[in-house]
Structure 1
């Protein structure tokens, strides 16, 4: 079984983010920054949840422990930027994106773990793609920050893919990835009444 190398941002995504999303993101970058902080917390929480759910898999928990720490560092960096740019914290309703993916996850093992890892890869891939697209469109300090984060997200995507491949067993993980990627692409590109870091095409 060959290891999954570090993948480019678009390698697992079946659709690109609409140009309109990037236009709105540049106009509403303050809201984006607040939601980004929430996304980093969620990313750390996801890694920790997997650690608690599968403590017997020490190879998994070792990798995800490091990932959780890195996600929390990113959260701290976003908070620092919010302070520097005078962006106040605001409570935001969750987007449909995470819930849409979560609803597709199998409830029985080992398919459940595989789906969780594949969804993690898709989320990191979408984050990477949007960071890459946003970087050149924004001014500093966001330009440099998002450009740097794109590299981290690509690495996280590949980590989740490697973990999924190693635990797939008899399940065709590539076929399952395609199924989940189809759902992800619809969520990331279809009209969306909310504007979030992982939202679809802004409806307004």
Structure 2
């Protein structure tokens, strides 16, 4: 497990980046034993969605059509489990990482950057998916699909509709999702059983790196300073986190009574 000083060092840029902390009301609700299944199930699905989002970016902006089809095959067993209850943990653990050659789009100046960062991210998110599912199995929590919270949709509704701003906005949103996940793992871990706490602390380093990768990619693609856009999405994200929310999930706002 990470030392206290290492955790503090990892969280410092995250806490500076986010415009609000997780509300205490959410933490109180998240600690309740009856909400453990929801927390873990939503976390499981968030890992898949993070992989899917990264995959969509690669498919749209970085690779040729054949490579896009091959990449999608990589995700299919996880999607089949999550959305159709096909397969099990043993089958998912036996899945191989993507190993085929990827053909880069010749007309995209940032294809290789996206591929280098996003393929690694997808591998890690799918590994985390299996780790969450393993914890659920140990806890006797039977997987049942649940609908997504308002969180990501609430940010994506503000994405600009012209390039490269569309891509830049999506990358900034990715940074906020990773940063908030990191912050919530750190806040929630002390209240969890030792196995979950240890797992959450183990995730901090990768989530913190993902947040930085998204921001660095966004700035490298933009011809102007993206700080104003980062701050705008920060306000949107903070509003979603700090306002009443009827749907309790891993990224939800203040639980509405």
Q: Could you tell me the TM-score, scaled by structure 2's length?
A: 0.75
Q: What are the superposed Cα offsets for residues 57-107 of structure 1, whole Å, 9 maximum, x if unpaired?
A: 122112101111110000010011110111111121111111101101111
Correspondence for 1:45? 52
1:201 paired with 2:254, answer: yes
Q: Pairwise mapping of residues 56-67 of structure 1 onto structure 2 (< 5 A)?
A: 56=105, 57-67=111-121
Cα distance, 1:11 vs structure 2: 2.3
Confirm or deny: 8 A CA contact 2:246 2:255 kept in the other structure.
Answer: yes
Confirm or deny: 8 A CA contact 1:47 1:67 kept in the other structure.
Answer: yes
Q: Alpha carbon RMSD of aligned pairs, Å?
A: 1.1
Cα distance, 1:191 vs structure 2: 0.3
Correspondence for 2:165? 111
Correspondence for 1:72? 126
* Long gaps (5+) in structure 1: 1-5
Q: Pairwise mapping of residues 15-54 of structure 1 onto structure 2 (< 5 A)?
A: 15-27=20-32, 28-54=35-61
Confirm or deny: 8 A CA contact 1:54 1:61 kept in the other structure.
Answer: no
Correspondence for 1:133? 187
Correspondence for 1:160? 214
* Long gaps (5+) in structure 2: 1-9, 63-104, 106-110
Q: What SS class does the counterpart of residue 16 from structure 2 fall into?
A: coil
Correspondence for 2:240? 187
Q: What SS class does the counterpart of residue 48 from structure 1 fall into?
A: helix
Cα distance, 1:32 vs structure 2: 0.2
Following superposition, which runs of at least 4 residues in structure 1 exceed 6 angstroms of deviation?
Answer: none
How many residues are matched?
Answer: 198
Confirm or deny: 8 A CA contact 2:26 2:253 kept in the other structure.
Answer: yes
Give the Cα–Cα distance (whole angstroms) in 2 for the partners of residues 30 and 151 of structure 1: 24
Give the Cα–Cα distance (whole angstroms) in 2 for the partners of residues 173 and 83 of structure 1: 42
Q: What SS class does the counterpart of residue 194 from structure 1 fall into?
A: coil
Correspondence for 1:12? 17
Q: What SS class does the counterpart of residue 91 from structure 1 fall into?
A: coil
Confirm or deny: 8 A CA contact 2:113 2:217 kept in the other structure.
Answer: no
Give the Cα–Cα distance (whole angstroms) in 2 for the partners of residues 127 and 157 of structure 1: 10
